[in-house]
Amino acid sequence: MTSGSSVLVFGGTGLLGAPLSLRLAERGHRVWAASRTQRFTGSTSIRSVQCDVSKVGVARALLQEIKPAWAINCAAVTSVDACELGGLAERVNAEWPRELAAAAASAGVRCVHISTDSVFARQPGQPEPREDDPPNPLNAYARQKAQAEKAVLETSNREALVVRTNFFGWSPVPERGLATWALRELRNGRRIRGFADVFFNPLYTGDAVDLLIELLDGGAKGVIHLLGAQCLSKSSFVRNLAETFSVDPGLIDEGLLRESKLEAPRPFNTCLATTRLKETLGRKPPGAPEGLARMLSDETSVRSELAMLEEYPDRGKR
């Protein structure tokens, strides 16, 4: 990614898209943040674009209008239960990425697609999946994301970058994201439950953004796992969060996914190998404890940045 590149970020006001848009702008890139519901205000140099990615033709129209060098897709429907219904989720998670990749290939635009670690549901004793292992999605959300990965890579002749990730951080919408939800509940003295039998290797959004930009600067393409160095349970994660933010860990109850009554099936283990990431960067990525410490130190500055977001008065018209 050359200095001063023009970058169009779809889902540019979300949990990953907002800090990515802000960091790219800080680095001197010309950034357009596309979102159906929110826009940046204030002194930021980010240009906001209202769009609804569920509508056919949006990708081609915006690429022709803005003519970016890069298109980064952070847009997704992430409610696992809602994805079982298909419809909008199928459109946004599976069909839209294919259309964006096709439009980008036609316009000569570099394409980056943000996927998920959930395309794998590890079995007991199975080694951590690598980038070239075939996905084994367990639910509709994971199947939709796996379909999108395949379509983006085939449409771009594997010139696009597909990023499998799982991240936590300060959310523009407080109830979204495990970390911000858990912290809000604990700070308000409410009990929460953390699954002791669900494992993942998450990355703080600030670290994810920095590493992603480094990968783009280096010309990465194909598939890469952008994840943390540490595989831990959801229960251990929220306990680490409580310790880092000095809130009462006694409010955390251990639960078991296998005893829950969630509508859609969930994988018990989505920890993925980060060998390619380490080889590309020349170092291992941060783990959850380091990310939580950075999240704490970032609280004031990031909350100030996210305060620049406001709702569109006519949500989703374009």
- pLDDT above 60 (res 316): no
Q: Residue ranges per domain, the chain? A: 6-311
Mean pLDDT, residues 228-236 taken together: 95
97 closest CA partner among 39, 58, 47: 58
- Those residues with Cβ within 8 angstroms of residue 113's Cβ, 6 or more apart along the chain or in another chain: 73, 97, 100, 101, 148, 149, 152, 160, 161, 162, 163
With bands split at pLDDT 50, 70 and 90, how would you rate the model's confidence at 303?
Answer: confident
Nearest-Å Rg of the Cα atoms of the chain is: 19
CB-based burial label for 202 (10 Å; 0-12, 13-18, 19+): buried
The pLDDT value given to residue 178: 92
92, 58 Cβ separation under 8 angstroms: no
312, 264 Cβ separation under 8 angstroms: no
Mean pLDDT, residues 64-68 taken together: 95
With bands split at pLDDT 50, 70 and 90, how would you rate the model's confidence at 58?
Answer: very high
- Rounded CA gap, 117 and 82, in Å? 18
CB-based burial label for 193 (10 Å; 0-12, 13-18, 19+): middle
- Report the share of the chain in percent with pLDDT over 90: 84
Task: Name the helix (H) or strand (E) containing 181.
Answer: helix 178-187
203, 277 Cβ separation under 8 angstroms: no
The pLDDT value given to residue 304: 87
Q: What tens digit of pLDDT does each residue of 155-205 get? A: 998 999 999 999 999 987 766 789 999 999 999 999 999 999 999 999 999
Average pLDDT, the chain: 93
With bands split at pLDDT 50, 70 and 90, how would you rate the model's confidence at 222?
Answer: very high
Between 44 and 145, name the one with better pLDDT: 145
- Report the share of the chain in percent with pLDDT over 70: 97
- Those residues with Cβ within 8 angstroms of residue 99's Cβ, 6 or more apart along the chain or in another chain: 56, 59, 60
- pLDDT above 80 (res 315): no
81 closest CA partner among 276, 260, 297, 284: 260
Query: Of 26-30, 41-45, 179-183, which gets the smallest average pLDDT?
Result: 41-45
- pLDDT above 60 (res 65): yes
Task: Name the helix (H) or strand (E) containing 183.
Answer: helix 178-187
78, 59 Cβ separation under 8 angstroms: no
pTM for the model stands at 0.94
- Rounded CA gap, 249 and 264, in Å? 29
Mean pLDDT, residues 103-109 taken together: 95
The pLDDT value given to residue 313: 84
206, 169 Cβ separation under 8 angstroms: yes
The superfamily (CATH) of domain 6-311 is: NAD(P)-binding Rossmann-like Domain (3.40.50.720)
Mean pLDDT, residues 235-248 taken together: 97
- pLDDT above 70 (res 45): yes
Query: Of 37-51, 193-207, 240-254, 273-287, which gets the smallest average pLDDT?
Result: 37-51
Burial annotation 251-278 (CB, 10 A radius, 16+ → b, else e): bbeebeeeeeeeebebbbbbbbbbebbe
The pLDDT value given to residue 43: 60
Q: Which residues pair with 269 in a beta bridge?
A: 199
